[in-house]
Amino acid sequence: MISEFQDLSDKIDRLAQLTQSLRAENYLLRQANTLLSAENLSFKERLFAAQQRIEAMLDELPKPPGQEPEGEGADADAADTAAAGSVNNSEAAR
């Protein structure tokens, strides 16, 4: 009977040691996770800044000849062309 109690006591001691070991490991993992999260955020910020610099550089490059400008100017040019075509078609019908 005493032997059984001793075995149970040994198992409880091992369980307590394992619990302490896992708590210490968990603490270290949480610290590492915090550091890696901060590093990841820093990398994301650097990547965003680099992306903005590249986009700014691309905007400064000259446009290739014959390329339509983007935005409202392209729509206005298309509308002018369509209107001119309508006038030409009206004159041809006369």
User: Domain extents for the chain?
Assistant: 6-62
**Distances from the Cα of 66 to the Cα of 27, 62, 73, 83, 92, angstroms:** 62, 12, 14, 21, 29
In 3D space, the residue among 54, 82, 85, 59 whose CA is nearest the CA of residue 71 turns out to be: 59
How far apart are the C-alpha atoms of 72 and 88, rounded to whole Å?
Answer: 24
Mean of pLDDT values over 47-70: 89
How many Cβ atoms from other residues are within 10 Å of residue 65's Cβ?
5
pTM of the complete model beyond 0.75: no
Digit-coded pLDDT (tens) for 2-46: 899 999 999 999 999 999 999 999 999 999 999 999 999 999 999
Give the pLDDT confidence score for residue 94 in this predicted structure: 40
